[in-house]
Amino acid sequence: MKILVTGAHLTPAVATIEELKKNYQCEVVYAGRKTTFEGDDRPSIESQVLPKLGVKFISLTTGRLQREFTVYTIPSLAKIPIGFLQAPLILLKEKPNVVLSFGGYIGVPIVIWAWAFSIPVIIHEPALMPGLANKISAHFADKICTGSIIRKEIKDGKNFGNRGKPVILVTGGNQGSHAINLAVEESLDELIKIAKIIHQTGDSKFGDFERLTIKQNENYRVEKFISNGWGRIMQECDLAVSRAGINTLTELSYLGKPVLVIPIPGHPEQNANAQYFKKTGLAEILPQSKLNGKSLLLNIKKMLKNLKSRTTKVKDLKKDMVPDMAKKLALETVLMKL
Average pLDDT over every residue of 146-164: 68
Residues 130 and 12 in one domain: yes
Look at residue 58 and give its three-state secondary structure. Answer: strand
Statement to judge: residues 315 and 330 lie in one domain = no
**Statement: residue 61 has pLDDT above 50:** yes
Greater confidence, 230 or 223?
223
**What integer is the mean pLDDT of 321-327?**
78
Q: Do both 163 and 284 map to the same domain?
A: yes
Judge whether residue 229 has pLDDT over 70. yes
What percent of the chain is predicted at pLDDT more than 70?
90
Over 50: is that where the pLDDT of 296 sits? Answer: yes
Give pLDDT tens digits for 2-40.
999 999 888 899 999 999 999 998 999 999 988 876 666
**Angle formed at CA 233 by CA 171 and CA 19, multiple of 5 degrees:** 90
Residues 22 and 65 in one domain: yes
Average pLDDT over residues 258-285: 92
The 10 Å CB-count burial string (b at 16+, else e) for 217-232 is: eebbbbbbbbeeebbb
Return mean pLDDT, the chain: 88
Shared domain for 57 and 96, answered yes or no, is: yes
Catalogue the long-range contacts made by 38-45 (C-beta closer than 8 Å, 24 or more residues apart).
Answer: 38/72, 38/75, 38/76, 39/71, 39/72, 39/205, 40/204, 40/205, 41/205, 42/203, 42/204, 42/205, 43/203, 44/175, 45/10, 45/174, 45/175, 45/202, 45/203, 45/225
- Residue in 254, 285, 253, 256 with CA at minimum distance from that of residue 270: 285
* Whole-number Å distance between alpha carbons of 204 and 82: 24
- pLDDT category at 205 given cuts 50, 70, 90 is confident
What confidence tier does 317 reach under pLDDT thresholds 50, 70, 90?
A: low
In angstroms, the CA 296 to CA 124 distance is 33
Looking at the structure, do residues 167 and 229 belong to the same domain, yes or no?
yes
pLDDT of residue 161 exceeding 50, the answer is: no
The pLDDT of 302-309, averaged and rounded, is 86
- Please report, for the domain that includes residue 132, its CATH number: 3.40.50.2000
pTM, entire model: 0.81
Distance CA 155, CA 157 (A): 6
> pLDDT value at position 290?
97
Task: Tell me what pLDDT residue 150 has.
Answer: 80
Same domain, 109 and 141: yes
pLDDT given for residue 41 in this prediction: 74
Distance CA 168, CA 198 (A): 6
pLDDT at residue 156 in the model = 65
Residue 303 has pLDDT above 60, yes or no: yes
Same domain, 185 and 120: no
Report the DSSP beta bridge partners of residue 102: none
Q: Give the integer Cα–Cα distance in Å for 269 and 132.
A: 10
Judgement on whether residues 220 and 74 belong to the same structural domain of the protein: no
For 204-209, what is the mean pLDDT? 89
Query: 197 forms bridges with which residues in the sheet?
Result: 168, 220
Q: Are residues 170 and 314 in the same domain?
A: yes
Q: Are residues 177 and 277 in the same domain?
A: yes
Q: What domain range is 179 assigned to?
A: 154-320
Picking from 174, 315, 180, the residue whose alpha carbon sits closest to that of residue 257 is 315
Mean pLDDT calculated for residue range 120-131: 88
- Does residue 167 sit in the same domain as residue 138? no
In the chain, the number of structural domains is 2
Task: Examine the pLDDT at 215 and tell me if it is beyond 90.
Answer: yes
